[in-house]
Chains A and B, each alone.
Chain A
Amino acid sequence: MRNARFRCSLVLGALLLAGCDVASPMPPVAMNLHQQWQLQPGDRIAGYEVSSGLGDIVIELAGKGLYLPRDGRIQPLDASPDCALFSSPEIPAYQMRICGLKQKHWGDRKQGQSIGRGDRVSLAMLRKQVDGTWTMVEPATQLLEQFLDTQ
């Protein structure tokens, strides 16, 4: 009798829990990514929140500015008018695609100068392949910090 009542309250409790807690009754799944990424959603770089980071790193810039980490060139991308491409003769074999900036300062610019401002920007580091195409790799957090700080 006592046992039955206990079971009953357990079931009721479980039902109550299921009814109230809509957020996450499921246990989290551990997933083995082929490639390990340093940055995870929710991490912070130079005080800014990273809201996505498997490939494009999405940063909640909240209207603040993005700056050149090295002397280099900011030029438009043919395929994506919302984006800009950063390249620097000081960083061979790599380019950074930057999307989501509201106003962009095009051209050859010096380290620390403004690239533009935005609410939510995404940064994709591209590495040159042998055949001349570009593949996405994970940027170093240190480099991202330099994009966010004026130094």
Chain B
Amino acid sequence: MADNRSAAKKSVKMRADQADVAQKRPRSRGKSVAYPSECYIPQADWAVSSQSPRIPQIIYVVGGWALAALAFFGDFGGHQNGVVAQSFGQSFKRDLCQEVVQPNAVLSREDLAQMLTIPERSAKSALREIIAEPYCQLPGLAVRADVTAMREAYPLAFDPQTWLVLLYEGEEYAGYAFYWEE
């Protein structure tokens, strides 16, 4: 059994040696090794004459990885794509508000809790009895055919980076969403 294993090792070693000869290349690149003349193969200029022959090879390795990364993450349709965004990275005031209505508007815990008791499809006026004017209005939005949606937003008093967005269709309240700002 042991003999078999060492024999196997030997044959592997032999194969490796044969491979070296077949490739006619040094195994350790750093050392200068004398080769029989029949082992000499012409090499590219940079490999023999450059003072530091490793640098160009590194460029190939880095370039290869860069190409692989591009192929993996890139969308060749020409659209911005790649790493999945965990956040949208937008400033609500700057990027989403179109018109500031009430710059001091914030929503307290009590207002929020009470507002959430109002069912969808209620009248806008029912909500406005609980919560005052919004901080801002967002641009009008075409979601459903023949209806233009209006959106209003309130920052939460106890969590100013979280915004409550309300969507109205005419005088009807359609629903809410929370927007987490970065």
Contact = CB atoms under 8 A, between A and B. Distances in A.
B5 interface: no
A65 interface: yes
Contacts of B180: 89
Contact of A108 (B88, B166, B179): B88
Most central of A90, A127, A140, A150 by chain B CB within 10 Å: A90
Given A89-B165, A90-B96, A92-B175, A107 B120 contact: no
A71 B80 CA distance: 13
Interface residues of B, number: 36
Interface string A96-112: 00000000011111101
Given A114-B75, A130-B120, A92 B151 contact: yes
Given A71-B88, A89-B179, A130 B165 contact: no
Contact of B85 (A65, A108, A129, A138): A108
B84 A108 contact: yes
A147 B88 CA distance: 18
B79 to A, nearest CB: 5
A45 interface: no
Contact of A140 (B121, B143, B174): B143
A130 B146 CA distance: 21
A118 interface: no
Contacts of A40: none
A18 interface: no
A130 B96 CA distance: 27
Contacts of B79: 65, 67, 112-114, 150
B159 to A, nearest CB: 14
Nearest to B120: A130
Contacts of B90: 71
A137 interface: yes
A127 B174 contact: yes
Interface of B: 75, 77-81, 84-88, 90, 96, 119-121, 138, 141-147, 149, 151, 165-167, 174-180
Given A89-B180, A90-B96, A107-B86, 5 more contacts: A89-B179, A105-B81, A114-B79, A130-B119, A140-B145
